[in-house]
Amino acid sequence: MALPHSILSRSQLWASPSKVMTAPGSLALLLWILLLPTLISSENEAANSKRDRSSYDPPFLFGDAPGNTTVQVGGTAYLHCPVFNLGERQLTWIRRRDWHILTHGAVTFTTDDRFQLVKEEHVDDWVLQIKHVVARDTGSYECQVTADSGIRSRRVDLKVVTPEAFILADEEYHIDRGSSLSLVCIIEKATTPPQYVFWYHNERMINYDSERGISVTTTPGRKTHSQLFIQKADISDSGNYTCEPSSSIPASIQVFVSGSEVKPWVTSGSMLIQGGFLSLFAGLLVFHTTCQELLVLTSISFSSHTRSILLKAPHSPSTIVF
């Protein structure tokens, strides 16, 4: 059987190479044979690259971090989201209240400059920082990472508290003129001590009125307390007193200074001396009255007894009996 013109025998191929180049079908076959190793090599490299990428880019994991954070008004909140093996993926912070995207990667997507992503180098923790927090910032926040299997997220709840001041006294405080005035203010619900505690008399701040005998002593701590002391209160010291710590709800009390000036040592001494004299005088009066009554009774008894003796005695002619 004769071979087709497009197919050459082995002897013809070696004998006449130029004829191979002139056959269209043989040229295409030759090119495919020449390119086949290159195609196979490219596919192998792609497969190897995919295997290498999967071996060096393991699944990411969320680390341990507090799920609840409490910050007082005016402070700075730090919401932590530790993620290991993040690789080329991007992390997104979202506010769940309105599902607003706050940050994506290193880019901030809010005009509120209080929000900022803090990421230290070589630390697998993407921290959402909120400065000068207000009560409205209370709520849930979420950090998200998009993976091949879908979106994985971690929630952090933020609680914003407002410290509150209390004065250890009734709403009205009464003292006498000349007495000392001492008011103690306690600050509760605070996560950190206040930067300052101001005392006001009506609308006037009096922390530094030392020439009037006024002093303020503040002791910071878990429950910061501040004491206002007035050495010698006067009528003009009556009025409203307010304890106002920084970033806190203030407390007020009404003070009434009344009466003439009272000197406790004179008052107590006078009362004791006066009471003693009155008791002594009353005792002497009773004693005097009793003595008089006894004297009268004794006189009457003596007169009666004497008269009885005289009547019983024998009478002489010279005796005159009345």
pLDDT of residue 239: 96
pLDDT of residue 209: 92
Domain ranges of the chain: 10-54, 61-161, 164-258
Q: Tokens 């004794």 belong to which residue? A: 298
Output DSSP code: residue 2.
Answer: P
Q: Which fold has domain 164-258?
A: Immunoglobulin-like (2.60.40)
Average pLDDT over residues 41-50: 59
Judge whether residue 70 has pLDDT over 80.
Answer: yes
- Predicted TM-score of the model (pTM): 0.59
Q: Which CATH class is domain 61-161?
A: mainly beta
197 and 216 in contact (C-beta within 8 Å)? yes
Output DSSP code: residue 316.
Answer: P
Secondary element (H or E) of residue 56 = helix 24-56
More confident residue, 211 or 134: 134
pLDDT of residue 147: 83
Judge whether residue 126 has pLDDT over 90.
Answer: yes
Amino acid at 307: R
Pick the closest to residue 206 from 224, 228, 189, 232 (CA basis). Answer: 228
pLDDT of residue 319: 39
* Segment among 30-39, 170-179, 202-211, 250-259 with least mean pLDDT: 30-39
pLDDT of residue 306: 44
* Segment among 64-78, 182-196, 229-243, 277-291 with least mean pLDDT: 277-291
Judge whether residue 145 has pLDDT over 50.
Answer: yes
pLDDT of residue 33: 72
Q: pLDDT category, 166, cuts 50, 70, 90?
A: very high
pLDDT of residue 150: 86
CA atoms within 13 A on the CB side of 163: 29
Identical topology for domains 61-161 and 164-258: yes
Bridge partner list, 152? 145
Tell me the pLDDT of the chain averaged across its residues: 78
Task: Render 154-192 in DSSP notation, one character per residue.
Answer: EEEEEEEE--EEEESS-SEEEEETTS-EEEEEEEES-SS
